[in-house]
Structure 1
């Protein structure tokens, strides 16, 4: 009788095992960066943590180097299921991200990556236009960044006058500022900058020092000027809202609980990368220049940001209110403390 019970139990046991296997969900993850990039290293650590926390119920199939997801259409591609999760870049997206793109220039005077991320979350909580532009996406991580400097091929840059005539790749929020300084700004995805520098299509790039190593800019540029461009945070990793809604509640909690760790990991890897980039530039005989007019530059930065904020009125967005709230929180000091008030 005992053996008969065992024989009857075995099929049930295998059925339970098969049911558990079918509970495994494979999600695609996509990034325009190679797997060795600091962003990707943080992403890989995050995926491993999710797989472990879910006890194997979630596994990932990763696609790197733009093989599945583009830089300028990533938000649309994730909304439509090209990838389940991916690195998004609202600052490069074509249309539909007016406030996400412009707000990145409202952070004049910000002093740390932690404050960048905290300020973005305050603004997103306070102004519904942020959520409107992210419809169809579940944001999984907010990313700040190292402060950009200016890397140039042959022309050193030491003061405001030296910007005149330079064709520079720059993030979208600083385009108006560089035009005011007499430069010729170009907004292109970072992956296109190296060949543009090598061919002389651009004279330089406004980018953090970590790119000297990670993007190999020391091979195509001789100078770096340590002028500080203030910069903001932005939603940088997201999942399709349709996919998010299809996940069990306990799995959703795992993703939500992992957000702070992912953001911290991104910050630490960015800081490590900046040190590595500066050292790499020195080792490869790049010439470092100080900048003599940082205070005047900062004042002009905020003047242009306020003008850009006013331009959001065209899209029925009160950009001036967003700009003022950002500056009020920055002026209140670090760490950023969010008192969102009533949504506007």
Structure 2
């Protein structure tokens, strides 16, 4: 059945490529966009087609540039926003990759597309009276946090520091998010079991923002201190306020099944694991990723889990860390 399924998949992708070669700016291609989003999602959820994600992303960027980014009425439909955010999240995951992998997927980051998409999303507000999460059906947190995360990830992948002006902009952006986080009076107040609807959704949305802020703050701190080489970030001190607060958040949500289903927080939790040094803290991350794997069955979570285990083992033993090829061979042991 697996062989047959991959055969159907290959034929479908071939036909999709043929359709993409003849589209024009006047064509309405919601169906194609939805197909591309589902194919990208299939790659994230499965073991066999994740390497095809870059070609799906490129197709999605081409369609969105034609039908959304180049139009005067920017993102005038909810579907446009859904499509933009879906492609941008796929771009984020593909560009960030695994921490043990220094190459990432075969996707060249398109700054022009990303900057234009960020501008367009900033101009649309479908639910002005509701929380930011209502206006962000996929990303869930501000696009600027994803941009910051990708910027610091690039430094660790290449070992090349940003230009002084770009580094200053990163510092300012992170400082702004840190300020918002530290001003929050309800920082560690979890939603009760009785809380329903928008209030609970708001809380999870805010907590995702906090985790992204704490992770990017820790990574940028290493860059500013000049302790960055191409490869993995160093472990962060347990006594640092960012790590201390992040662990408190993870402890509060340790047995929350709703939290385990929120895919946006998987990358910051995974990255926190890379930054952790103490076995008891690592166990907290291990438990949360396993719970996410149990309730979602997403292969992407298993990739994160396996990558963390190899990183932790290598640090303990002082040996090399496996690359992605070795990771793919062993993923069947998880989930």
Q: TM-score, normalised by structure 1?
A: 0.27
| Higher strand content, 1 or 2 | 1
Higher helix fraction: Structure 1 or Structure 2? 2
> Which structure carries more relative contact order (alpha carbon 8 Å, separation 6+)?
1
TM-score (norm 2): 0.27
Structure label with greater radius of gyration: 1
